[in-house]
Structure 1
């Protein structure tokens, strides 16, 4: 069944552009500058505690410890807090497949199936259809917070946030003039990071980062995550970050492996069948995800030196879902996988989903296939501004695959009205993030929540 958004895509370019311009009457671009918290805005710590009710309780102190490290880390873990804040603001109704967590640190390098090094979004746990500007505002806010943590002035922080939005707007306007296949096959080459760096020292560090990213293959992961015990390769024991799965969990993973296999295309099932199950372990990942059930599985192909390491992560209801109309997927794992396939220019060939014990939803993907990320901490104002613009460009590429790029481009327009408005929002929300981060620190100090820093 087609949706109104699908039918809008079938209109003429003129009709679609008219729809975008009409959205300005409903929500003028200047309105996005406003940050007006709800009168009954919930306590941010209470929101985080509510999220933690069905997570592994022994891991929650690690989550709070990681979020308490800085306002930027807090913002990364506080997707539910920001989703609620965005939901009470006016929105355009121009729907895309949102990343749901377009935080500055959720962009990075990865290898395509053809082994090209690409720059793209890399976190899709919260992906859901919604207003395009929600992702743009989250990106801009994270840029503003990062700039302030790096000691930049408010003017420099505002300029960097605005650069992210300008990158988005100009890229979307360019995409609006391209055909459907051209947009679908659009990619951002990882080498585009190099010209953005001005200082020779940081350029050398980035070149080193690109080299390391190319080396982070399955064999690299094999050396980092496994060891040989009594002649057999096993996943290392590094508690609490990496621990043996235990007999019950291992048995469940073996049992549900075939369910995951069934969600892959036929040729990839054929490839997966060439591997055998070797070992499994529980792994802690990310910041906001800590406490969710997450495992890695070691598989062996031709021999023990031909590994495939898959990550199995619990998928929950997106933090966006309570604020938006129902999405097309009932299974949370299916939602994550479908969203990643739609947003990422060259998604992992092993993406799949299944239900595990107690009906919990999971999704599977390859672990650490040539990954890397920029070192945002310590970036000077010029480098951060250029990097923010690249992230905005990349986000537009992702949105252009799912949303009506012509309508969005027409809404954004040729002037920088939207850019300046969202930059104002970003600075105001950065202030709010600092206050929310302080509230978490106070809750930890008062013993309301337990935190384990440095893990």
Structure 2
């Protein structure tokens, strides 16, 4: 029996046999059921944030929790990034549009970045899909707005300016939904947003500061150097036996027991059997040289994450990241941990599917596997992947960045067949440009309160530090 309170990733939820016009009308009717006023009204929540964090961390590696907490305690925004489960919990208690699409689930401003297309073209868009699911469009937009406010306040920007930024970000999303609805299905499917497109967008703004163009130039140069060989140079060494291996840097980077090593080898072999054929043929030229546990990020720091060093018959290298695909955070809160893990056994497939849908082009090496009773997804590690440090942007550049994120979020949402319902819902709803920012500001207060309780729990020793 499936718990009806769980988030189940079932693509049949968005396979609706209706015309675009019929879908739009469905969205208009839903506006009468769940109004913009309802969507923009924050409903206070009554829960213990520390207890929810503990439930999530029960699935993580205890040795890594002190470092995880150090990262989270750095600022409210860092805390927000590390606690997607809190907002997932809280959004369930807010009015919801109930227009099902594939969502990112964690669309904060730091989860957009640059990545390479299979043709080695530098693209920009969503780059984290660990919380991807069938959900409501406004969940992603609200998380984007809250993150923009938190990051903007951290940068010292004026509160009134930030409020206007949130309004423009919401307006950008709304207008992009309108534009996307006019595109053909093939135009939507082949849509991409490259480095050059961001440059053209900057030029169209005219009076935007030159800082963003400087930032983009640096990103382009860094991305061209970011590949497996650079990673090997930075992270590998020759051991006493004369073999090239990863450096240990415990607890973040640590070699494995023989048992775990063999589990990962079996998981890698299973991945090779299911990855796309051209990649499988390429990987036949490579053998595993080393494997290390290597933790990354904030929200996922503490999960099981590994790097595989592959050496080719020409002595070249590929570094693959094997990252634990956690069950959806909300499901972790609704079930005992081990049962949630069993129910999330195909979480790797969920993440891979969502990434392929929401990104205009994805890593050829992207695939999933299972080993040790857990689900994982595999991808190239840091291959041409770069990001913009929002904490170093001036206000004009930050505003442009947030609007760009909203634009790409809307385009990603419109990959779902049900997306015309969003257009129907948003039609003539300019009021949301004020209501959703107001909701976001209320939720920032909630994040601030939760952050205070988190710091207190650390100080009292309730959480490992």
TM norm structure 1: 0.92
2:265: which partner in 1? 254
1:3: which partner in 2? 12
2:293: which partner in 1? 282
1:140: which partner in 2? 145
Measured against aligned partners, the alpha-carbon deviations of 1:178-229 in whole angstroms (never above 9, x if no partner) come to: 1111101111112344427933455424421221122212222222222233
Measured against aligned partners, the alpha-carbon deviations of 1:117-155 in whole angstroms (never above 9, x if no partner) come to: 100111111111111111111111101111111112222
Structure 2 unmatched runs, 5+: 1-9, 335-339
1:331: which partner in 2? 346
Q: Calculate the aligned-residue CA RMSD, in Å.
A: 2.2
Distance, in Å, in 2 between the alignment partners of 1:323 and 1:252 is: 28
Distance, in Å, in 2 between the alignment partners of 1:441 and 1:119 is: 35
Of 42, 45, 69, which aligns to 1:35? 42
Measured against aligned partners, the alpha-carbon deviations of 1:376-400 in whole angstroms (never above 9, x if no partner) come to: 1142322221111100111111111
Alignment of 1:29-428 (within 5 A): 29-38=36-45, 41-194=46-199, 195=202, 198-201=208-211, 203-229=213-239, 230-304=241-315, 306-321=316-331, 331-357=346-372, 359-428=373-442
Distance, in Å, in 1 between the alignment partners of 2:77 and 2:197 is: 25
Closer, same or farther: CA 20–202 of 1 in aligned 2, 3 Å: closer
Q: 1:12: how far off?
A: 2.2
Q: Is the 8 A contact 1:175 1:405 kept in 2?
A: no
Name whichever of 166-175 and 95-104 sits farther off. 166-175
Closer, same or farther: CA 66–397 of 1 in aligned 2, 3 Å: same
Distance, in Å, in 2 between the alignment partners of 1:27 and 1:33 is: 10
Distance, in Å, in 1 between the alignment partners of 2:314 and 2:236 is: 15
Partner SS for 2:183: coil
**Divergent runs of 4+, >6 A:** none
Q: 1:167: how far off?
A: 2.0
Q: Is the 8 A contact 1:329 1:335 kept in 2?
A: no
Structure 1 unmatched runs, 5+: none
Q: Is the 8 A contact 2:367 2:378 kept in 1?
A: yes
Distance, in Å, in 2 between the alignment partners of 1:2 and 1:430 is: 32
Distance, in Å, in 1 between the alignment partners of 2:332 and 2:102 is: 16
Q: Is the 8 A contact 1:31 1:421 kept in 2?
A: no
Q: Is the 8 A contact 1:193 1:387 kept in 2?
A: no
Q: 1:323: how far off?
A: 9.1
TM norm structure 2: 0.90
Distance, in Å, in 2 between the alignment partners of 1:266 and 1:397 is: 29
Partner SS for 2:378: strand
Alignment of 1:5-20 (within 5 A): 5-7=14-16, 10-20=17-27
Distance, in Å, in 2 between the alignment partners of 1:414 and 1:349 is: 41
Q: Is the 8 A contact 1:147 1:160 kept in 2?
A: no
- Paired residues in the alignment total 443
